[in-house]
Structure 1
Amino acid sequence: MDMFQIKKNRIYKDGKPFFYLADTCWSAFTNISMEDWKYYVDYRYRQGFNCIQINLLKQWDSSGDELNIYPFPVIRESEKRGAHLEFDYSVINETYFDMAEEKLKILQKYGLTPVLVLLWGNYVPGTWESNFTNNNLFDYEYLEQYTAYVTKRFRKYHPIYFVSGDTDFPTKETIAYYKKVFETAKNWDPDALYTFHLCGESREIPEELEAMADFFTYQSGHFLQGQHFAYDIPLELIKEGYTKPIINTEPCYEQIAPPGNIRFTRREVRRTAWQSVLSGASAGVSYGAHGVWSWHHNGQSFDSFIRKGAGFALPYDWHDALKFEGAEDMNFLKTTFEGLFPDGCIPKLIQLNEMQEIRCAYDEKKYVIYIPTNVALDVSPLGLNSENCRVEVIDLMNRKACITNWREDGECLEVLPCYEDALIVLYRK
């Protein structure tokens, strides 16, 4: 059936709660051979992912592609701003979308949901990418033709739609583009779920577009100084009365390196993901491996012109990136979170140990606390102690249970027997 619904702050699929766990593969349709795609989908399916995030068009910052096939005819190529492509948006390349459909059929075979980006920000005037883009902007007059074509053709695969990709909305023209895309898609696929994928560290979206979205997505992004947005954005939304589902659909990619810094490891990815889901973005979370999203082969280009400003390091070869351990951590998060909170949870607006990085959520039976580093933890602000609760601890690096003890005062947990981050579950007696 693959029928999606929104009930309060949760997503349901075929009448059952659905925790959105997506892998990020923006470049799937332009960069991946069919044999590699089959291998990739099977691998992620076995890891427990249930969604794959894909750009319907060419990803502007993908790695070099070898398929040499695009959704529209290329009318001119040049070295302007790197490898610059001028597309004829009036003509749809049926061969490209034939190939895309074959890939969607494989997802359908595995029961995975495609999450399709209709129009990434580099195709739209006014966006931050429009200052750097390596393609010509999309002609407004052809938006309806393109959007109607893809939604009519692909609706049978029951996708979720990202109307925008990595987008800000600085001008009326920008908003008009996305309004046209949304209205056209909604006309041809009215039962699908729609949202807007925003640019990093942002929650800014015009009210009229936010009202159209079935749920709210944000990206905490890939810069060290902005990692607090993983919890700040959902907490702000809830404080303001937002009641629909919230998802961090672009936490930091595993092994991406922000400017002048070391690469994010699985530990940072875990931290961002757990901080998100325990702070109100509890409808799901996405994962990205640096080398899979851009589909990189060793020796390929990585749009160096664009990346001079951002400074991200070259990705790993996709064969290696696919096996990063952080993907297993995300599956563990999904199964653990679903087991702990089958009926949902409420973020606790309290600061423990004077560390905002420690995040907490609860239901009527328990508190679940994420600690990003191994410290003794005072739980007395929650009204809990050794007499009125039972404690369980999960070492998230090893994905195993471990044991801790209370200090003599009965209000503080001792330093845990694990080396990185942990999940503490406190059951009320």
Structure 2
Amino acid sequence: MLQISSNRRYFTKEEGSPFFWLGDTAWEMLHKLTKEETIRYLDTRAEQGFTVMQTVVLAELDGLEAPRPDGAIPLLGKDPRKPNPVYFEHVDWVLEQSAKRGLTIALLPTWGKWATPWEWTGATDREELMANVVFDEEGAFVYGAYLGDRYKEAKNLVWVLGGDVSPVNEVALANWRAMARGIREGGGRQLMTFHPFGEHRASQWLQGESWMDFNMIQSGHKAAPFPNWEMIDKDLATDPSRPTLDSEPCYENTSVGQFASSRRFNDQDVRMAAYSAVFHGACGHTYGCNDIWQMRRFGDTPVFGGIGYWFRSLALPGAGQMRHLKNLMLSRPYFERVPDQGCILPSSTSRMVDANHLSATRDGTLGGKDASYIMIYRPTPYRISVDTSCIESSRLSIWHYDPQSGYAIDLGERENTGRCDMAEGVLGPDSVLVIDDASCSYRAPGLLSD
């Protein structure tokens, strides 16, 4: 069962080793995939190095009335007090299959619109606001208690309330509080969080909630790039301190801004979102693809301009490249890692422009000289200057790490003068500059110990 690290910044496994959240938004998996399709999906994502599947019980796309392929619907009479055991037997099976593959399920009990009045549309009439809502406080508690009891022994489970909504009114907040209380009183002791509306942070509303174990942001699909690093910075500055991550960034193969006339987010866009967030202190990252979240098949009406099919899009470049971020982070001291933009000197090219935003992380104490490595993510191959005074050693080992392939180029050792100037990157379009204390004799970046 996942736990929070002692410094309240990262996840750990039960025995204390680091757990890097590398998620995928499989929102419609429970609702739309057959068992055979589910196996194919889980096998592929496990092979690609993912660790977390984010999915929903009461799904967004007609999830209350459109049956699963086996004919089951989740609720009898659309009543949260009457969960259908047949439907939940399939959820049980997915959890078991995921556990066999070392995958954690981040389970949303319901998509947000079924529990939250939808104020973002600008509607003001109560009937219109409540059109989709099937939960009240009592129903939310009963449903939560059912889930908490049913899955109280599941070790590969994390609870995620919300679902593309934010608790901006008392009705919504009361429902989510009741559901969280139900899960806890039903026996669910796994970690719990909330997935908010796009371009928002769950901590904006829920930082004071005792049931929140870690935070999520959703940077969304509005722009390329979207400065998700600013949202991570704000989360990490809140009190109490909690781990945070971008749970829904730009989706690969989705139109920018979700407008049909726009270009589509590509693998470079998803890499920048991932590395920027993690280097600014996130405890992991979630990948997403427009064709996969909706599990689009032949004949399905596309959502948000979908042009692909889930089984083909499993092999999109960005999905295969996400493992290199996880491996890079785990190849150096993990729990001691901190974001440190102070490592980037002003002479670095275009350091504050979003498309060229440089992100820095290292280990050690902020303001101290106890670092053993520095990493700088360069979304574009411009020259950079790095303050290396946080590394006390007189010798440095320099590497370029390729986020596309996970390949590291050894640039050799040099004297530590307190400053490291690097010309345009030898890799591209993006790269990571890794500067190690040479006396540590670390293996190549991204290369994990046996």
Q: TM-score range by the shorter chain?
A: 0.7 to 0.9
1:324 and 2:327 matched: no
Partners of 2:401 and 2:431 within 8 A in 1: yes
Q: Which residue is equivalent to 1:105?
A: 96
Q: Does 1:219 align with 2:210?
A: no
Instruction: For 1:269 and 1:61, locate their aligned partners in 2 and report how far apart those are by CA, in whole Å.
Output: 28
Q: Does residue 11 in structure 1 map to residue 14 in structure 2?
A: no
Measured after TM superposition, the shift of residue 65 of structure 1 is 7.6
Q: Secondary structure at the match of 1:224?
A: coil
2:2·2:191 contact (CA, 8 Å) conserved in 1?
A: no
User: Structure 1: which amino acid aligns with 2:432?
Assistant: L
Question: Which letter does structure 2 place at the counterpart of 1:322?
Answer: L
- CA distance, structure 2, for counterparts of residue 205 and residue 415 of structure 1: 39
Residue by residue over 1:153-173, the C-alpha shift from the partner in whole angstroms, topping out at 9 and shown as x without a partner, is: 123222100022112121111
Q: Out of 413, 418, 428, which is 2:422 matched to?
A: 413
Instruction: Name 2:198's counterpart in structure 1.
Output: 200
Deviation, 1:53, is 0.8
1:272 & 1:264 partners in 2: Cα distance? 11
Shift of 1:378: 2.0
Supply the AA of the counterpart residue of 1:213: M
CA shift digits 1:14-63 (9 cap, x unpaired): 1222111122211111100011111111111112222211111122488x
Tell me the equivalent position of 2:276.
275
2:399 equivalent to 1:395: no
Structure 1 equivalent of residue 447 of structure 2: none
Picking from 334, 349, 352, the partner of 2:341 is 349
The alpha-carbon distance between structure 1 residues 270 and 210, as it changes in their structure 2 partners (threshold 3 A), is farther
By how many angstroms is 1:190 displaced? 4.4
Contact 2:167 2:173 in 1 (8 A): yes
1:398/1:61 CA distance change after superposition, 3 Å: farther
Unaligned ranges ≥5, structure 1? 75-86, 304-311
Partner of residue 91 from structure 1, selected from 82, 90, 94: 82
Structure 2 unaligned regions, length at least 5: 364-370, 439-450
Q: Is the 8 A contact 1:24 1:53 kept in 2?
A: yes
Residue equivalent to 2:181: 183
Q: Structure 2 counterpart of 1:139, which letter?
A: F
Aligned pair 1:236/2:243, yes or no? no
Residue 91 of structure 1: CA displacement?
2.7
Alpha-carbon deviation of 1:401? 2.2
Distance 1:196 1:36, change over 3 A: same
Contact 2:146 2:186 in 1 (8 A): no
Query: Which residue number in structure 1 is paired with residue 297 of structure 2?
Result: 297
Rounded Cα–Cα distance in structure 1 between residues aligned with 2:398 and 2:38 = 43
Count of equivalent residues: 403
User: Which of 325, 331, 354 is matched with 1:333 structurally?
Assistant: 325
2:324 alignment partner AA: F
Superposition TM-score, scaled by structure 1 size: 0.85
1:120 is matched with which residue: 107, 111, 128?
111
* Deviation string, structure 1 residues 246-265 (Cα, Å, up to 9, x no partner): 11111211111122421111
Q: Deviations over 1:141-161 (max 9, x none)?
A: 322222111221123222100
Contact 1:404–1:416 under 8 Å retained in 2: no
1:113 alignment partner AA? T
Determine if contact 1:169/1:205 at 8 Å carries over to the other structure: no
Q: Counterparts of 1:287 and 1:315 in 2: how far apart (Å)?
A: 18
**Within 1, Cα distance between the matches of 2:32 and 2:253?**
20
Kept in 1, the 8 Å contact 2:135–2:175? The answer is: no
1:422 and 2:431 equivalent? yes
- Distance in 2 (CA, whole Å) between partners of 1:388 and 1:88 is 66
Q: Once the two structures are superposed, what CA deviation does each residue of 1:302-321 show, in whole Å capped at 9, x if it has no partner? A: 35xxxxxxxx3214101111
User: What letter matches 2:52 in structure 1?
Assistant: C
One of 139, 142, 145 as aligned partner of 1:145: 142
Taking the TM superposition and a 5 Å limit, the aligned residue runs for 1:365-404 are 365-380=372-387, 389-402=396-409
Q: Indicate the larger mover: 271-280 or 333-342.
A: 333-342
| Secondary structure of the structure 1 residue equivalent to 2:151 | helix
Percent of aligned pairs sharing the same letter = 23
